[in-house]
């Protein structure tokens, strides 16, 4: 599996070699396979532009996903755009750690690529259940760090 990682922000130090096992583990624990997935860390400005261009909402958001193929061994699963600055602001406001919050956004984006949605309340509950499931596994595997 090819995991493409791009870091176009400087709010939070991110080591790509820490991101790769997070993505691999999340996919493994969801029993999903793919040939390629892209994780891109972007600024608030960049995510705001994407949010406006594709969702008609100029406000910055935590993550945006663009699915390409359904999961499978030959799949180009898609792209996950994550904004660590939004994670940092959320963690400061609600208590918590910005690295852990950013990792949660990675998991959230992967779940979207796997077909999970969070628009309806019942879907939100399912999404939160799988987010907690993935975060617990990442914690057990000592993968809750980005640098």
Q: Is residue 68 part of a domain?
A: yes
Domain of residue 10, residue span: 2-140
Q: Is residue 145 part of a domain?
A: no
Q: Is residue 136 part of a domain?
A: yes
Q: pLDDT tens digit string along 40-75? A: 999 999 999 999 999 999 999 999 999 999 999 999
Q: pLDDT tens digit string along 16-34? A: 999 999 999 999 999 999 9
Query: 17: which residues sit within 8 A by CB, 6+ positions away?
Result: none
pTM of the model: 0.96
Structural domains in the chain (count): 1
Q: What is the CATH number of the domain that holds 11?
A: 3.40.390.30
Q: What is the 3-state secondary structure (H, E, C) of 70-117?
A: CCCCCCEEEEEEECHHHHHHHHHHHCCCHHHHHHHHHHHHHHHHCCCC
Q: Is residue 71 part of a domain?
A: yes
Q: Is residue 147 part of a domain?
A: no
Q: Is residue 146 part of a domain?
A: no
């Amino acid at each position: 599996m090819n995991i493409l990682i791009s870091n176009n922000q400087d709010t939070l130090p991110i080591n790509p070699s820490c991101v790769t096992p997070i993505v691999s583990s999340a996919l493994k624990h969801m029993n999903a396979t793919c040939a390629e997935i892209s994780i891109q860390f972007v600024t608030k400005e960049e995510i705001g532009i994407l949010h406006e261009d594709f969702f008609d909402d100029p406000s910055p958001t935590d993550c945006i996903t663009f699915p390409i193929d359904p999961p499978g061994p030959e799949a180009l699963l898609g792209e996950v755009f994550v904004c660590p600055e939004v994670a940092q602001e959320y963690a400061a406001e609600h208590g918590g750690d910005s690295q852990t919050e950013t990792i949660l956004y990675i998991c959230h984006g992967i779940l979207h690529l796997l077909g999970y949605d969070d628009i309806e309340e019942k879907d939100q509950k399912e999404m939160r259940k799988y987010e907690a499931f993935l975060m617990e596994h990442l914690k057990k595997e000592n993968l809750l760090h980005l640098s």
